[in-house]
């Protein structure tokens, strides 16, 4: 079987959850004997690969503009992929679905993974949101199968379009533990000595609520904010300005590799205040490291949580502050929640099982 992966930015990369999913899923598919080609968007910032862990990599032209990047890259990726006659064309995210009509026109098998309801995300303007919603409707019309990452989004597609979808969650790998070496050298951080937010810095992640809550706390425990704002520059500048006025906030920028492993390994608590999610990869990863997590109570987070994390009311900085102060006073509870969370995610969100379920979708006709 030959599969084309289309719609992500680049792999290997951690620029977003889509990229983490495409990389891990493709790697597992290759291990099971499936040929996988991934169509990366051309970028001067990304190392060029022809092959990565058995995945063939093809670069496609795009434009470096937020509102055009995905659609231009997907158009050229689709044209390139159609010349190679794949068994499955697997598209990721709603924007790239605007091109589904092309493989559908040639009677190709099209599978789509909806990583979230992208048109709801605050970083997009009215026109971009409308185009993303159109992409969603094209998925409903042209995809042979639609994979969703949460039961909440599955219900949304059924209620809105009467369209059946297949629930297959994201996966997570076993934690890669590291001692606090780089983070101590670079930021003065020690084991269990900081709070961690690790995600893209975009409005829907709700980081401004966390900063407001932290500002109102009487604590000397540093708050580490790890992530970049390449696709939401105005919001990133706003966050920077907020942080400049508050002691003990450390902004690391984008992290990956050893620095990422160290930040997860040594955090006291992981916090995710998002207002919109598909299925948060960073939350799964924090749980896999055995970390106590405090997350907003949106349905997509609650679906992962299942009583293994602490929650607060989404969009409520006061409730976040109260829950933060409370959990910081309960070390035994933090340890117990972290241990249970780790056991749960490694059992329920196993990449091998998720890959097998995806292959079944590819094969079912």
Residue pLDDT tens, the chain, 365 long: 999 999 999 999 888 889 999 999 999 999 999 999 999 998 877 778 899 999 999 999 988 766 677 889 999 999 999 999 999 999 999 999 999 999 999 999 999 999 988 766 656 678 778 988 999 999 999 999 999 998 989 999 999 999 999 999 999 989 999 999 999 999 999 999 999 999 999 999 999 999 999 999 999 999 999 999 877 889 999 999 999 989 999 999 999 999 999 999 999 999 999 998 878 899 999 999 999 999 999 998 998 877 899 999 999 999 999 999 999 999 999 999 999 999 999 999 999 999 999 999 999 86
Q: Which pTM does this prediction carry?
A: 0.87
- By 3-state DSSP, what share of the chain in percent is helix, strand and coil, each rounded to 5? 45, 15, 35
Question: What stretch of H or E contains 5?
Answer: strand 2-6
Query: In the sheet that 35-41 helps form, which strands lie side by side, from edge to edge?
Result: 51-52, 55-60, 35-41, 2-6, 88-92, 110-114, 145-148, 166-167
Q: Report the CATH superfamily, name and number, of domain 2-171+350-363.
A: Glycogen Phosphorylase B; (3.40.50.2000)
Q: Which two tokens stand for residue 97?
A: 């679905």
Q: Which residues pair with 92 in a beta bridge?
A: 113
Would you list the domain boundaries of the chain? Answer: 2-171+350-363, 182-348
Torsion of CA 33, 39, 42, 44, to 10 degrees: -20
Distances (CA, A) of 133 to 74, 93, 194, 221: 16, 11, 39, 42
Instruction: Tell me if 2-171+350-363 shares its fold with 182-348.
Output: yes
Q: What secondary structure letter does DSSP report for 289?
A: T
Contacts of 314 (CB under 8 A, 6+ apart): 206, 273, 274, 275, 296, 297, 298
CATH architecture, domain defined by 182-348: 3-Layer(aba) Sandwich (3.40)
The reported pLDDT for the residue numbered 229 is: 87
């Amino acid at each position: 079987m030959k599969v084309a992966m289309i719609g992500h930015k680049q792999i290997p990369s951690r620029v977003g959850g889509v990229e983490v999913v495409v990389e891990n899923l493709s790697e597992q598919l290759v291990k099971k004997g499936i040929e996988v080609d991934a169509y990366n968007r051309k970028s001067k910032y990304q190392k060029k690969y022809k092959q990565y862990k058995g995945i063939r990599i093809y670069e496609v032209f795009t434009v470096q503009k937020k509102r055009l990047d995905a659609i231009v890259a997907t158009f050229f990726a689709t044209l390139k992929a159609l010349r190679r006659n794949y068994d499955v064309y697997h598209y990721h995210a709603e924007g790239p679905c605007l091109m589904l009509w092309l493989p559908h026109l040639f009677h190709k098998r099209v599978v789509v993974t909806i990583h979230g309801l992208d048109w709801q995300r605050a970083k997009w303007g009215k026109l971009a949101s409308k185009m993303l919603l159109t992409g969603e409707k094209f998925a409903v019309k042209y995809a042979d199968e639609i994979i969703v990452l949460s039961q909440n989004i599955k219900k949304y597609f059924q209620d809105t379009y009467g369209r059946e979808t297949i629930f297959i969650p994201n996966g997570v790998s076993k934690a890669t533990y590291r001692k606090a070496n780089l983070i101590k050298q670079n930021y003065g951080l020690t084991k269990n000595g900081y709070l961690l937010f690790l995600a893209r810095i975009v409005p829907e992640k709700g980081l401004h609520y966390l900063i407001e809550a932290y500002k109102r706390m009487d604590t000397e425990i540093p708050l580490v904010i790890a992530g970049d704002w390449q696709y939401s520059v105005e919001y990133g500048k706003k966050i920077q300005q907020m942080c400049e006025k508050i002691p003990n906030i450390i902004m690391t920028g984008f992290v990956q590799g050893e620095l990422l492993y160290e930040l997860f390994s040594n955090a006291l608590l992981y916090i995710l205040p998002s207002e919109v999610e598909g299925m948060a990869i960073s939350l799964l990863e924090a749980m896999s490291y055995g970390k106590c997590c405090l997350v907003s109570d949106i349905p997509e987070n609650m679906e992962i949580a299942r009583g293994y994390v602490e929650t607060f009311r989404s969009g409520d900085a006061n409730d976040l502050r109260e829950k933060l102060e409370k959990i910081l006073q309960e070390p035994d509870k933090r340890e117990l929640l972290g241990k249970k969370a780790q056991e749960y995610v490694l059992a329920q969100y196993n990449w091998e099982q998720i890959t097998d379920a995806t292959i079944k979708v590819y094969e079912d006709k």
